[in-house]
Amino acid sequence: MTDSHNEVWTLAEQYDGKLKGVSFELLARGRSLADKLGTKLVSVLIGDGVADSDLDTLIKHGADAVYAVQSPELKYFVCETYGQVLRSLIKEYQPTILLGAATSTGRTLLPYTAVKIPTGLTADCTELDIEEGTGNLLQTRPAIGGNIMATIKTPDHRPQMATVRPKSSRPLPADASRKGEIKHISFDKALIDKRTQIRGYRKEESETLGLDEADIIVAGGHGLKKGENFSLIHSLAKQLGGAVGASRDAVDRGWASYPHQIGLSGKTVSPKVYVGIGISGAIQHLAGIKTSETIVSINSDPDATLHKLADLAIVGDAFQVIPEIQKRLTERGVKNNG
């Protein structure tokens, strides 16, 4: 396709006037695509009350420009209204690529918009790249139950749209010297979808038990042998002020509930410290932990795959190692309330 469309866009998200972290993760993805295409990277924000100083942080983290449509009517996400706004922006500026997060907002807004335009959308991409020669977006994601990786293209339509899982990439470090344009685009109230009205807003009681935000995650697997032993994982997580994670095997056995599952068919996590105990390190589990800053593996098998990836590999029996760690933490003044 000859391309009169050229900007690469990433969709920023906000709640209560504060930018969400995923906005910065997407910029890291978008930056490398825009650089390969030699084009401009724009962060697009639809919402309300985000200050210019905050919008400028999007530029410091990789955007060349920010397009912001803000209005009290856009404070809360309403798919139809946001979709109309996004469509009108796309019509005017004709981006070649639009990336959103695979959050509840991105997973609703992007399909809605893609159908209306119409164009293609690849959900939950793990890798994004630019095809040499054509400049098409290569959108890679697990397919057939996670057993193969499929690379999908949208050669005939623009923009090429994709969602990316939160925590699957790290934001670029802030560069204070970066300068860019913040363009405030006025909101046309005719775009409000009158069929949908917000009657109230209640913050979700998260089922995730802090896995998404936790700095420390202690995850247990099949090596714990039985459900009762998972209390060791809870106890260590509590002492470390962290959250409890689990392999799919542990979840399938009913030792932990699904919101604790980490991996390809569970959550992608990005804590400062991930501790995997009695987890072998199957590729589907690793897919969920690879952006963790430090990986600790506790496993009795010296050849366990997770040991190979770990920054710290402890070869030992979980039933001896966990109490020993807890004892040493207590000796150093870290209370054990488990």
Ligand X SMILES: Cc1cc2nc3c(=O)[nH]c(=O)nc-3n(C[C@H](O)[C@H](O)[C@H](O)COP(=O)(O)OP(=O)(O)OC[C@H]3O[C@@H](n4cnc5c(N)ncnc54)[C@H](O)[C@@H]3O)c2cc1C
Q: How far is the CB of 230 from ligand X (least distance, A)?
A: 11
Residue number, 59 or 219, with CB nearest to ligand X: 219
Q: How far is the CB of 127 from ligand X (least distance, A)?
A: 17
Residue number, 72 or 145, with CB nearest to ligand X: 145
Q: Contact 108/115 with Cβ under 8 angstroms?
A: no
Q: How far is the CB of 7 from ligand X (least distance, A)?
A: 35
C-alpha triplet 103, 172, 209: angle, nearest 5°:
40
Please report, as ranges, the residues that interact with ligand X according to CB under 6 A: 145-146, 221-223, 247-250, 261-266, 278-280, 282, 284-285, 288, 298-301, 304, 317-319
Q: Which position has the token pair 């918009």?
A: 113
Q: How far is the CB of 48 from ligand X (least distance, A)?
A: 36
DSSP 174: P
Residue number, 208 or 300, with CB nearest to ligand X: 300
Q: How far is the CB of 234 from ligand X (least distance, A)?
A: 16
Q: Is the dihedral of CA 124, 128, 133, 136 positive or negative?
A: positive
Q: Contact 277/298 with Cβ under 8 angstroms?
A: yes
Q: What separation in angstroms does the CA of 57 have from each of 24, 148, 178?
A: 9, 37, 10
Residue number, 37 or 286, with CB nearest to ligand X: 286
Residue number, 97 or 244, with CB nearest to ligand X: 244
Q: How far is the CB of 111 from ligand X (least distance, A)?
A: 23
Residue number, 163 or 247, with CB nearest to ligand X: 247
Q: What separation in angstroms does the CA of 292 have from each of 58, 101, 219, 225, 233?
A: 23, 19, 13, 26, 18
> What is the rounded distance in angstroms from the CA atom of residue 95 to the CA atom of residue 98?
7
